[in-house]
Structure 1
């Protein structure tokens, strides 16, 4: 789904969103109030320019529109893998974006992420996964690392990882597996505008992903480790 078709379904009360070099920014009306819209399109990789543009848009919202909800529309193939971006410190730009999102949250901005097409690696980590709650469309492509790349990094044969992925969502791509792990709150289908209204009303600033992953059976140890650290007990 292209971003304009998505926005038409997501914001039936109207929207003013501009696209510039695969970067989306603007405003929309949701349930009678204005929300800020920030995102990417065309599977664009997140380089220093887009990371900085997203950060600037978040900070402008915090400065000019206190507590206005922020909607993050995610479609990215991950961070841009170029020597130039690495030399400029793409990791610092993406960390800056994540910090800006946290600043917005601490200043009362509800942040909702929606993966409407593709979400890979670092581009997803510092956008949708930084939201108070992240959702996805049924046909979205989501993964932090593909199994071939994971096999090269871990030295575990790809065939073994493929077998593990059948039962363990940590190794498997796709929105359903990220729901099981708690990374996604839910998958949206049908009336997207109603889904967004509901998400905004239910959003909270407390990170529930580990608890959701434990309850859904996708991440069995994360919450247990967190509880043990807080209590000082051994796992």
Structure 2
């Protein structure tokens, strides 16, 4: 789905979202309420320019419109793999974006992410995945690392990783697997405007991703390990 069609379905009451060099920004109307919208399109690689543009849009919303919800529309191939960006410290720019989103949340802004096309690697981690809740459309492609790259990094044969991916969502891409792990709260179908309005109404600051992953059978130990670290206790059997 292209971003114009998505925006029309999400904001039937109207929007002024504009695109500039793969960067989306503007506002939309949801149940008579204005929300800020930022995001990317055309499988945008997140270089220093887009990372800074998104961070600026978040901080501008915090400064000019206290408490206004922020919706992040995600379509990215991950961080841009260029020597220039690496030399300029793209990791710091991505971290800055993540800190700005977290700052907005701490200032009382509800932040929702929606993967409407593609979400890969660091471009997803510092946008939709760091939001209060992240959602996806059924056709969305989501992965942090492809199996060939994972095989190179872990030295585990790709054939073995492919076999593991059949039963373990941690190794497998796709919206359904991220739903099982709790990274995606829900997959939106049907009336997207109604889905968005409900998500805004129901959102809170509690991070339920580990609990959702355990309930859905995608991450059995994450919540136990985190709780053990917090309390200094031992991890029990899965």
Per the shorter chain, which TM-score range? over 0.9
SS, match of residue 116 in structure 2: strand
Q: Determine the C-alpha separation between the residues in 1 that align with 2:60 and 2:17.
A: 15
Aligned to 2:190: 190
Aligned to 1:22: 22
Aligned to 1:213: 213
The alignment covers a number of residue pairs equal to: 235
1:105-116 to 2 correspondence within 5 Å? 105-116=105-116
Deviations 1:59-110, CA, capped at 9 Å, x for gaps: 0000000000000000000000000000000000000000000110011000
Q: Determine the C-alpha separation between the residues in 1 that align with 2:146 and 2:230.
A: 33
Q: Determine the C-alpha separation between the residues in 2 that align with 1:79 and 1:231.
A: 35
**Which stretch shifts more, 221-230 or 39-48?**
221-230
Q: Determine the C-alpha separation between the residues in 1 that align with 2:234 and 2:93.
A: 37
Q: How far off is 1:160 after superposition?
A: 0.4
Q: How far off is 1:228 after superposition?
A: 1.1
- The normalised TM-score by structure 2 is 0.98
- Asked if 1:5 corresponds to 2:8, the answer is no
Q: Determine the C-alpha separation between the residues in 2 that align with 1:207 and 1:97.
A: 19
Aligned to 1:146: 146
Aligned to 1:40: 40
Q: Determine the C-alpha separation between the residues in 1 that align with 2:98 and 2:78.
A: 15
Aligned to 1:163: 163
SS, match of residue 167 in structure 1: coil
Give the 4+ runs in structure 1 shifted more than 2 A.
none
1:168-179 to 2 correspondence within 5 Å? 168-179=168-179
Q: How far off is 1:229 after superposition?
A: 1.6
Q: Determine the C-alpha separation between the residues in 2 that align with 1:231 and 1:215.
A: 22
Aligned to 2:60: 60
Q: How far off is 1:202 after superposition?
A: 1.1
1:117-156 to 2 correspondence within 5 Å? 117-156=117-156
- Asked if 1:49 corresponds to 2:44, the answer is no
Q: How far off is 1:230 after superposition?
A: 2.0
Q: How far off is 1:122 after superposition?
A: 0.3
Q: Determine the C-alpha separation between the residues in 2 that align with 1:216 and 1:185.
A: 11
- Asked if 1:75 corresponds to 2:49, the answer is no
Q: How far off is 1:204 after superposition?
A: 1.1
Q: Determine the C-alpha separation between the residues in 1 that align with 2:206 and 2:86.
A: 33
Aligned to 1:226: 226
SS, match of residue 166 in structure 2: helix
What runs of 5+ residues in structure 2 fail to find an aligned partner? Answer: none
